[in-house]
Structure 1
Amino acid sequence: MNNKDLRIEPELCLKRGEVVRLIPDVKPNIAIRAFDEALLASLTGDLIGGLKISRAEAEGASMGGDFTPHVITPHGARLLRKLFEAGLVEQKTKRASKDLSALDAYIDSEAELIEKSIQLREQRRIDQAAEDAARQAREERAKAIAADPSIATLEDISARMIDRIFIHARGYGHGGVMKLAGCECHKDVYRYVSNSGNRQPPKPYCWWFDPDGNRHGETMPSTPPNRRSDPKRNWGARRE
């Protein structure tokens, strides 16, 4: 098992605020700041409160980014415990409990979370392989129908499949009407310019009329799909 196998997936970890609050009556902002300073000190070699923080202690202690929550791993919780024992993590009162059993339980969950992470990655791999196989099968079916529309069945008809059939039959960016499985299938390609004046990638809209004349599928917007036509974004105006 290599180091990558021992990696814990971020979604299985507790968020930073949740971890520091495992310390009774902690001052969470101060605790997080001390934790961040310890991570920085491990890189610079500086002491923090007289403590030397090694890179091994800091590596993998925290994860997160602009679009994902910041979490502290059980390994990071071990570093937080060290900071607490050194008096670098403040509590709200001097009489506050020093019971760290909740923090220790999270630290001790490391092996369990590693195992769950291995299982999660394997399930993702299986799901991705199934998704890729289904996508490939749809693509092969779309190619076959484009070459011989007579083989299409009602089960083949969907907005996504119509789009792919048109692409294989007529190329990217082309729409029109095609008869498939007794359905009148339409594809329009919507081209628009964004609020900033930049041309956006073409957006396909596909729909069809079934043999009974019922309409299904997508509807082209009457206005460009940008913030100035979106009431959920206050019609492009500033927030109130």
Structure 2
Amino acid sequence: MVSRSTKTTLLLIFGIGLLLNPVYLYPNNLDGTGTVVTYEVEPVENETVAESLVYISEQTLTCGTERACALEREVAEQGSLEYNHTVQERLPGWDPFSLSYARYTLVAIDGRFYAPEVREDGERTILTHRELSTMEALDQIAVPNDETSPEVRRAVETGSVTVVDHRIPEFERRDPIAHDGEVYAVTGRSYSSGPPEKVLVWRALFVLVGVGCVAVAWDLRGRE
């Protein structure tokens, strides 16, 4: 049978443990000062939303007066463009989410979407466009879920994800995510400094309980 002295010691240790702050409730943010980012994700359900996502994507070249658009407009007007040189393609193994990735995969011209294509014919290079519908354009820029980070996969599967002291590149760029035949996109982002309110409430509660345990243990030890 556990002695009274042992019980008092265990109660004291438990109380001190609570007073040291239950940081295990919020991993990766032990001091409560980190930036907490919550991303909310939902399936794209209509063409209006899809169109807005296509236009804001960093993978889309929305043609105005940009230098690259002069070439793309010429291809769109002529149907194809060819010349006696080869073009440099994206190197295998490049990370499409790194800062060095500067290639666009979709072109928007006068309300229409095109996938730029390159075909080699001997020593000639032929540039063409493949016109896409809005939903096809969305699929064109959607990132397969199995090529993303665990945080992205968790967000798609659960509807949201919270991270501390870092950002999710795919969501910051508003890349749509393809998963099980559907396309998902970020519908909301929230940023805050420090832990959520519910964590602070639990911490305050545990501190109060810890003070009570230490006080009781101290009183019992004084009576021994």
**Higher helix fraction: Structure 1 or Structure 2?**
1
Structure number with greater CO (CA < 8 Å, separation at least 6) is 2
Same fold (TM > 0.5): no
Which category describes the TM-score, using the shorter chain as reference length? under 0.3
Normalised to the residue count of structure 1, the TM-score between the two structures is: 0.26
Normalised to the residue count of structure 2, the TM-score between the two structures is: 0.28
**Higher strand fraction: Structure 1 or Structure 2?**
2
